[in-house]
A and B are shown apart, each in its own frame.
Chain A
Amino acid sequence: MKKIWSKVLCPGEKWSGNIGRGKYIHFKAMGDNANVSMLMYNMRDTSERYNMPDTLKAQYTAYLTTGNILMSDNGRVLASIIEDTCGWHDTISGYLTRKMADKRYGVSKYEMDRNDWLRSGEENFKVELIRNGMGPRDLVPCVNLFAKVYCERDGSMHYDREHCKKDMTVTLRTEMDMIVILSNTPNILDESKAYPAVPIAINIYEAPPVDLLDQCITRRHENYRAFENTWEYYELLGL
């Protein structure tokens, strides 16, 4: 399998870029309690983006794991989860705001802390959205890779600090040409006072063509229809 690109996303670091369809994005947590916030937009039309409600209701789930697809608001598959040793990735708790980072970890300024300053998911996302021709207006619920947030019967939300362990991995397969924005910043519901510092190893590979027996396609009829919508989109584009 041909490796195309690799990177270590340091604690607090952000990244954005265009990633074409048909790639594996392999994430590995290099420590316990990782949280990588991720947004995804269609490269050709950024008004089409990852849609948390459509993703969850089509698959009757409140979290993401192997076999799940990450859907856009246009009923297409942006990416699918083909491998996951973690078992639960959150998509209902959003990104760490500047306000919460200051409150929880204390005010951290570049002048004092230089590049060790404690960054927020909010600011990381805003900068990368602007870089890609969008802005805060385009913020939507994100995916939090490696994070588990569950709800009790009464609806209360809980972050599980023991969920993610060192060397756990998750692999996405891109199904559309996307702008991907990543922020390696703590989960907003993680109440520990220490800013988690877990580097994430990212490797991108060429993926083989998807076949109809693929677990993400066969998992539900809904998934298959979302793939059909995606294939149709590229056929009509002539790609």
Chain B
Amino acid sequence: MHEFIEKQSKLREEDAVYDDVVMAGDGWMHKLKKGQSFRIVDLKGNQAADTMFYDMTNPADHYGAVATIVAQQSIYLTTGSILRAESGKPLLEITADLTGRHDTLGGACSAQSNTVRYAREKIYMHNCRDSFMLQLANWEDQFLAKRDIAPNINFFMNVPVTKEGGLKFDDGVSSPGKYVEMKALEDTMVLISNCPQLNNPCNAYNPTSIRLLIWD
């Protein structure tokens, strides 16, 4: 599953049981039931959706970036990729993909990583890990904590790696209206930060809204 597998979804927007827009810089946390389909739409293009998953039957089992890429022996995610928990348990499968490149090595931005990557004065800027932590703080049982924020998926983000070991953040390969869709293979908690990063091209220096849809 190495190359981009472009695939349209057959699901119709009007049949969705959930349909909402999450603005740039906002977070979102939601339980997906086993069998539900979940679509993230990049409304205006080049927007990174930083996403974590947790197994609802054992929330201590967070999304496993390495478990996911090692099982498919490829670092890029596209149609057919199984998104796994740290334990290796399959949580979701990507069932449709219009952009073909989703990153899981680049992680989420934080106030602290911004000080390292750009300048120490950037610590005031809004960032994904703050959005993650606010969602965890406001969630009903407050079971999840900072220790549960493991390396995540960046849907629509392009982080090419070369054979020589180079790694960089490139302009996104997404454009307005493109989406990625996945099916929950288990009851799964989804945690999203719609990335507010202004210091690199992952959002084309202009973070914008995403639309989230769920089907039974």
A interface residue numbers (CB < 8 A to B): 46-47, 49, 51-54, 56-58, 60-63, 71, 73-76, 88, 92-94, 97, 99, 134-141, 150-157, 188-189, 222, 225-226, 228-229
Contact string, B65-89, partner A, CB cutoff 8 A, digits 1/0? 1110110011110000000001110
A228 and B120 contact, Cβ closer than 8 Å, known pairs A94-B70, A154-B2, A156-B2: yes
Closest chain B residue, CB of each to CB of A98:
B88
Contact yes or no, B86 A150, CB < 8 A: no
The interface residues of chain B lying within 8 Å CB-to-CB of A46 are: 147
Contact yes or no, B116 A62, CB < 8 A: no
Shortest C-beta distance, A131 to chain B (Å), equals 17
Contact yes or no, A137 B66, CB < 8 A: no
B112 within 8 A of A: yes
Contact yes or no, B167 A61, CB < 8 A: yes
Q: A93-B66, A139-B64 are in contact. List 19 more A-B contacts (CB 8 A).
A: A47-B146, A51-B151, A53-B65, A57-B167, A61-B167, A62-B161, A62-B166, A73-B149, A75-B110, A94-B70, A134-B147, A150-B164, A150-B165, A151-B75, A151-B163, A152-B163, A156-B73, A226-B116, A228-B120
Quick one: which of B60, B69, B150, B161 contacts A140, CB cutoff 8 A?
A: B150
Contact yes or no, A153 B88, CB < 8 A: no
Closest chain A residue, CB of each to CB of B150:
A140
The interface residues of chain A lying within 8 Å CB-to-CB of B151 are: 51-53, 140-141
Contact yes or no, A157 B69, CB < 8 A: yes
30 sample A-B contacts, Cβ–Cβ < 8 Å, listed by A number: A47-B147, A52-B151, A53-B106, A54-B110, A61-B165, A62-B105, A62-B167, A71-B116, A73-B112, A88-B165, A92-B66, A93-B66, A94-B66, A137-B61, A137-B148, A138-B147, A139-B86, A140-B151, A141-B66, A150-B163, A151-B162, A151-B163, A152-B2, A154-B3, A156-B73, A157-B69, A188-B70, A189-B73, A228-B120, A229-B115
Contact yes or no, A155 B74, CB < 8 A: yes
Contact yes or no, A225 B60, CB < 8 A: no
Contact yes or no, A53 B75, CB < 8 A: no
The interface residues of chain A lying within 8 Å CB-to-CB of B149 are: 73
Contact yes or no, B86 A75, CB < 8 A: no
The interface residues of chain B lying within 8 Å CB-to-CB of A188 are: 70
B17 within 8 A of A: no
Contact string, B2-38, partner A, CB cutoff 8 A, digits 1/0? 1100000000000000000000000000000000000
Contact yes or no, A137 B74, CB < 8 A: no
A225 and B163 contact, Cβ closer than 8 Å, known pairs A47-B147, A157-B69, A189-B73: no
B169 within 8 A of A: yes
Contact yes or no, A62 B147, CB < 8 A: no
Shortest C-beta distance, A197 to chain B (Å), equals 22
Contact yes or no, B70 A93, CB < 8 A: yes
Shortest C-beta distance, A55 to chain B (Å), equals 9
Contact yes or no, A54 B145, CB < 8 A: no
Shortest C-beta distance, A216 to chain B (Å), equals 13
Quick one: which of A62, A135, A153 contacts B165, CB cutoff 8 A?
A: A62
Contact yes or no, B66 A153, CB < 8 A: no
Contact yes or no, A57 B163, CB < 8 A: no
The interface residues of chain A lying within 8 Å CB-to-CB of B116 are: 54, 58, 71, 75, 222, 225-226, 229
Quick one: which of A51, A54, A56, A136 contacts B87, CB cutoff 8 A?
A: A136
Closest chain A residue, CB of each to CB of B74:
A155
Quick one: which of B60, B167, B168 contacts A136, CB cutoff 8 A?
A: B60
Q: Which 6 A-B pairs have the closest CB atoms?
A: A53-B107, A75-B112, A94-B66, A155-B76, A154-B2, A137-B60
Contact yes or no, B106 A155, CB < 8 A: no
